[in-house]
């Protein structure tokens, strides 16, 4: 098991990931060394809502030659040919060749990741190379000999799920995707953060919620998985997309479809308390990922995203572990974990008695003492005491079985974890019960 989230990124990075690929097959063992994932398998060619799982393939030769001289070897890098590349052998002129070449303008020495053929089911596949812009600009007039050999690779699309049970069957879903070959930030960083969050959650003595971590090829993986879950989907209260969390940029929060769910409120509360000013945006306004699957009609799982998108290495050969920030990765881990804890504590209680109870009585010992500068325990100042005093006063009336703790936390400006721990003391004294 890897010690740090950065070490885990390094461990999970060196695989030729895809939707149904040998790289994904090889990586399963590594993922399962970190957590005992359940592996769901879906056959090549399977169709759901028009989405079709592509066939596995191995490109065994991909060359561009001119006058017998090797100009480019598409196997020199995993991104050297386009995704789901078609086989081809023939002679083409420069203009035709250029129509099959892909590059990144603002990073002339990088190789771009071309993935669009993953999501064009039923169409004739094309052939193509991904090359540095410098090479593209150096190509001379004349004819070029192209040879691309593609062999079938019998496999399946694999979706990894880890479930960490809590007191309730209601669950919070974390999601990272593993379909981009040799892309450390997009999205091995999200997968690694999700795994490390699960490691920490597993150490808690008490978990209100059940937690699910889903590692799957983008869009199509969660789609098939949700279909298989059937009615169990109703137990997923909310989701958090983890994507591109290791680059050196501010952490951003993207809202769910409505922007008004409990997970939205909790995440915004967390980000405000953690960073003061922070970057946020509406649904799909910052980053596009699997939130469309979870928020689809009839599914409608409120799903936020945490990301540091954009960054200059996006979808290129430069997206390597060495380009990531260890500090940013750890900060992402802490933020996601804290969001999970806050959501976990956002439960409902009901006051079980009638009348006013003496909280300072030794039978209860629930009274928070007034601010006293000579006392090292208790509220640190008069404002904090006022907040706790009001909480004690309002709590029996407000906790009627319908109000969640985030409302108390925000109203009285007390962290939700502290409100939750205080309510548990009332539960122990028989004054509150879960609803």
Please tell me the number of Cα atoms within 13 Å of 262 on its side-chain side: 22
279-281/252-254 β-pairing: parallel
* Averaged confidence pLDDT in the chain: 95
More confident residue, 176 or 383: 176
What letter would DSSP give residue 323? G
Q: What pLDDT score does 369 carry?
A: 83
CA dihedral (275, 267, 422, 405) positive or negative: positive
Q: Could you tell me the pLDDT band of residue 378, with boundaries at 50, 70 and 90?
A: low
* Domains in the chain, CATH or no CATH each: 5-53+156-344 (3.40.630.10), 57-152 (3.50.30.90), 348-434 (no CATH)
Distance CA 324, CA 286 (A): 20
Q: What is the pLDDT, as a whole number, of residue 372?
A: 63
With a CB cutoff of 8 Å and minimum separation 6, the contacts of 246 are: 6, 9, 184, 185, 189, 308, 324, 325, 328, 329, 332
| DSSP state letter for 49 | T
pTM for the predicted model, two decimal places: 0.93
Of the chain, the percentage scoring pLDDT greater than 70 comes to: 97
What's CA 128's distance to the chain center, in Å? 30
pLDDT at 322 over 90: yes
Closest residue by Cα to residue 290 from 225, 211, 237, 201: 225
- Compute how many other C-beta atoms are within 10 angstroms of the C-beta atom of residue 28: 16
pLDDT at 352 over 90: yes
How far is it, in rounded angstroms, from Cα 316 to Cα 314? 6
Once rounded to an integer, what is the mean pLDDT over residues 314-325? 98
Rounded mean pLDDT, 171-179: 98
**Segment 355-364 mean pLDDT:** 96
DSSP codes, 194-256: HHHHHHHHHT-S--SSEEEEEEESTTHHHHHHHHHHGGGGGGEEEEEEEE--SSSS--EEE--
pLDDT in tens, 256-292: 999 999 999 999 999 998 899 999 999 999 999 999 9
Query: What are 72-123's pLDDT values in tens digits?
Result: 999 999 999 999 999 999 999 999 999 999 999 999 999 999 998 988 876 7
CB 201 within 8 A of CB 337: yes
DSSP state of 145: E
pLDDT score at 140 = 97
Q: So what's the pLDDT on residue 180?
A: 96
Contacts of 347 (CB under 8 A, 6+ apart): 208, 404, 405, 420, 434
Q: 126-162, pLDDT tens digit by residue?
A: 999 999 999 999 999 999 999 999 999 999 999 999 9
CA distance 421 to 423: 5
pLDDT digits (tens, 9 = 90+) for 219-244: 999 999 999 999 999 999 999 999 99
Of 188, 272, 150, 195, residue with least CA distance to 34: 195
């Amino acid at each position: 098991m890897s010690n740090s989230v950065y070490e885990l990124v390094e461990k999970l990075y060196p695989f030729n990931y895809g939707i149904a690929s040998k790289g994904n097959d090889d990586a399963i063992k590594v993922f399962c060394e970190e957590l005992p994932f359940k592996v769901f398998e879906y056959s090549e060619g399977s169709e759901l809502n028009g989405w079709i799982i592509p066939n596995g393939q191995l490109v065994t030769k991909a060359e561009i030659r001119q006058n017998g001289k090797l100009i480019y070897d598409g196997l020199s890098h995993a991104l050297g040919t386009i995704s789901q590349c078609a086989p081809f052998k023939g002679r083409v002129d420069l203009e035709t060749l250029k129509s099959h070449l892909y590059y990144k303008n603002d990073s002339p020495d990088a190789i771009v990741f071309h993935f669009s053929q993953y999501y064009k089911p039923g169409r004739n596949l094309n052939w193509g190379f991904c090359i540095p812009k410098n090479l593209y600009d150096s190509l001379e007039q004349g004819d070029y000999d192209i040879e691309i050999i593609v062999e079938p690779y019998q496999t399946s699309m694999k979706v990894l799920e880890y479930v960490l049970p809590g007191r309730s069957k209601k669950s919070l879903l974390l999601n990272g995707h593993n379909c981009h070959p040799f892309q450390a930030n997009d999205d091995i960083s999200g997968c690694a953060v999700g795994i490390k969050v699960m490691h920490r959650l597993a150490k808690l003595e008490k978990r209100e919620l059940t937690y699910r971590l889903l590692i799957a090829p983008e869009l199509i993986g969660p789609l098939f998985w949700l279909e298989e879950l059937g009615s169990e989907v109703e137990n997923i209260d909310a989701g958090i997309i983890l994507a591109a969390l290791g680059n050196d940029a501010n952490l951003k929060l993207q809202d769910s479809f409505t922007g008004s769910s409990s997970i939205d409120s909790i995440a915004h509360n967390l980000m405000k308390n953690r960073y003061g000013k922070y970057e946020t945006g509406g649904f799909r306004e910052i980053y596009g990922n699997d939130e469309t699957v979870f928020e689809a009609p009839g599914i409608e799982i409120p799903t936020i995203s945490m990301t540091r998108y954009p960054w200059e290495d996006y979808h290129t050969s430069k997206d390597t572990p060495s380009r990531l920030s260890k500090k940013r990765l750890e900060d992402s881990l802490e933020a996601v974990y804290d969001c999970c804890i806050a959501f976990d504590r956002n439960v409902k209680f009901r006051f079980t008695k009638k009348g006013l109870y003496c909280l300072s009585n030794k039978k209860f010992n629930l009274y928070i003492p007034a601010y006293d500068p000579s006392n090292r325990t208790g509220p640190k100042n008069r404002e904090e005491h006022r907040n706790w005093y009001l909480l004690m006063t309002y709590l029996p009336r407000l906790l009627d079985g319908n109000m969640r703790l985030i409302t108390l936390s925000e109203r009285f400006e007390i962290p939700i974890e502290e409100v939750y721990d205080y309510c548990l003391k009332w539960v122990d004294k028989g004054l509150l019960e879960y609803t």
